[in-house]
Amino acid sequence: MVSPIIPLSLLVLLLSVSMANSASFQESFVQCLHLTQSEFASSIYTPSNPSFTSLLNSSAQNLRLLVPSAPKPELIFTPSDDSHVQAAVICSKKLGIHFIVRSGGHDYEGVSYVSEIESPFIIVDLVKLRGINVDIKSNTAWVQAGATNGELYYRIYEKSSVHGFPAGLCTSLGIGGHITGGAYGAMMRKFGLGVDNVLDAKIVDANGRILDREAMGEDLFWAIRGGGGGSFGILLWWKVKLVPVPPTVTVFTVTKSLEQGATKILQRWQEVAPYIDENLFIRVIIQPFRAGNNTQRTIITSYNALFLGGASTLLQVMKTSFPELGLTRKDCLETSWIKSVLYIAGFPSNTPPQVLLKGKPTFKNFFKAKSDFVREPIPEIGLQGLWQRLLIEDAPLMIWNPYGGRMSQVSESDTPFPHRNGTLYKIQYLSAWQEGDKNVAKHIDWIRKLYSYMGPYVSTSPREAYVNYRDLDLGVNTKNSTNYIQASSWGYRYFKNNFERLVKVKTKVDPENVFRHEQSIPPLPI
């Protein structure tokens, strides 16, 4: 099909007719980009474009931030080339237009597609930049920001069954936003985080230049490996180091209800899981269960695990270290690493690995989440109080992720991600609800109260939190210059003392705060 050639001036005219007062804003941005006509047609979306809302919705993971009352962008730009990303930064800066950046759209507070603090704003959506070049010979891969971690896993699997990469469990995460915040997954106890396995990067800086590791220098290269997305530049590419995986791995899921002794087993898990063989990652998913008639209620704990080895070795490890769980050979499924990825991500069995190329999340809902790090086992009385609180909410979920192993060997200041030695496990709290629920305030209030209840049992001074589980309850930036002081409220929780170095780097590389959102690292006042 031959697309009709519409002169740019006519398009601009059409835009200005339909856009009324935002016209000049969009018009000047688009003119500045110097796109060809076909690039213009396929990469500029204004609210009058019939595809605008479906594009806005496409990768947005938290439906809470898509409700009609949530602020909407004036324009979405989907660059198809690294040079377009440079142009977007240069033009936005020149014209004073606020932009936010989206890769995979999984931000817990939607700061990659909604700005609550600045209006107007536009989105630079990297959905089209998803190149992946795996080089088995050198054990490395270059991955473009808009690709998902699932696509990366698939492209590695295509070339080798004994290589992998240690990043997220969920397989629709954007490499751009995911690795910038740490990136943990089922191999973290053996190989550390995604950021611990990064060799190089290409970013667009605040002046629109493309910098690799050598050009950006070690301070900035340090900051982008865990300092959180949207603060230091736009990540274009990561160069990652592949890790060896055995041809056979083993997965299992064993569930225990309160009646089956869940409380005692979970107490034991807290003492064992952070110290057990580093080839073994056993997370616990905790949910209330109600029988249909709602009279019989209990808590179900699911022990969901990956072992980098065969079932017989796993059974020996469990017999020695964690016999309380009662793992049997029948519970174990021996499989390949790529299939273990699908298993842990929750795809139905027999789903072909090609599903990873769809880059689509398995589900979407409305949610509010929080995180904690635990340094001392929670005593039984603490767990009992937790069960009571979980049973009163409609769709709560907790996930406990064990640390230890490689995570304890990396020092707190090696990368901005500080939750290292001494951390037993991380807790994620989640409250989710469906479209049309009238009790949104109740769900949010519930999770805040639960968080407050947990205070005595988790890390303190600071009460640590995972930046990739962004939580705006911890504090937000405002448009004015008091940001640095306000940011301390969340900055030390996400980064501990690394926060101060992050602020120094930010002040040096982006003193005008071109890259900013509700929880971006603030520069010191000039």
Ligand X SMILES: Cc1cc2nc3c(=O)[nH]c(=O)nc-3n(C[C@H](O)[C@H](O)[C@H](O)COP(=O)(O)OP(=O)(O)OC[C@H]3O[C@@H](n4cnc5c(N)ncnc54)[C@H](O)[C@@H]3O)c2cc1C
Mark the segment that binds ligand NAG (CB under 6 A) among 186-194, 290-298, 387-395, 451-459. 290-298
Using CB under 6 A, which of 166, 174, 402, 462 touches ligand X? 174
Taking CB under 6 A as the rule, does residue 119 contact ligand NAG?
no
Asked if residues 183 and 192 have their Cβ atoms less than 8 Å apart, the reply is no
**Token pair belonging to 375:** 């340094």
Taking CB under 6 A as the rule, does residue 138 contact ligand NAG?
no
| Torsion angles phi and psi, residue 236, rounded to 5 | -100, -45
Taking CB under 6 A as the rule, does residue 408 contact ligand NAG?
yes
Using CB under 6 A, which of 73, 226, 227, 230 touches ligand X? 230
Strands 249-257 and 297-307: antiparallel
Using CB under 6 A, which of 119, 460, 482, 489 touches ligand NAG? 482
**Tokens 């979405």 sit at which residue?**
76
Using CB under 6 A, which of 166, 177, 359, 491 touches ligand X? 177
The rounded distance, in Å, linking the Cα atoms of 290 and 396 is 12
**Tokens 């995986």 sit at which residue?**
245
Helix (H, G, I), strand (E, B) or coil at 370: strand
Mark the segment that binds ligand NAG (CB under 6 A) among 51-59, 75-83, 93-101, 247-255. 51-59
CA distances (Å), 455 to each of 212, 300, 374, 378, 524, in order?
A: 41, 23, 10, 11, 31
The binder of 176, among ligand X, ligand NAG, none, by C-beta within 5 to 8 A per type, is: ligand X
Active site residue 469: yes
DSSP letter at 517 equals -
**Tokens 């003119």 sit at which residue?**
31
Q: With respect to ligand NAG, which residue has the nearer C-beta, 461 or 480?
A: 480
The binder of 177, among ligand NAG, ligand X, none, by C-beta within 5 to 8 A per type, is: ligand X
Taking CB under 6 A as the rule, does residue 513 contact ligand X?
no
> How big is the chain by its Cα radius of gyration, in Å?
23
The rounded distance, in Å, linking the Cα atoms of 294 and 231 is 47
Neighbouring CB atoms inside 10 A of 47's CB total: 16
CA distances (Å), 357 to each of 170, 229, 353, 490, in order?
A: 13, 23, 8, 35
Active-site option among 303, 469, 492, 494: 469
Taking CB under 6 A as the rule, does residue 49 contact ligand NAG?
no
Asked if residues 284 and 412 have their Cβ atoms less than 8 Å apart, the reply is no
Taking CB under 6 A as the rule, does residue 468 contact ligand X?
yes
Using CB under 6 A, which of 74, 82, 107, 510 touches ligand X? 107
Q: With respect to ligand NAG, which residue has the nearer C-beta, 164 or 523?
A: 523
Q: With respect to ligand NAG, which residue has the nearer C-beta, 2 or 291?
A: 291
Annotated active-site positions, please?
A: 469
Question: In the complex, which residues of this chain contact ligand NAG (CB under 6 A)?
Answer: 53-54, 57, 63, 66, 291, 293, 295-296, 408-409, 421-422, 478, 480, 482
Question: In the complex, which residues of this chain contact ligand X (CB under 6 A)?
Answer: 61, 100-108, 111-112, 126, 145, 168-170, 173-174, 176-178, 180-185, 229-230, 234-235, 468, 517
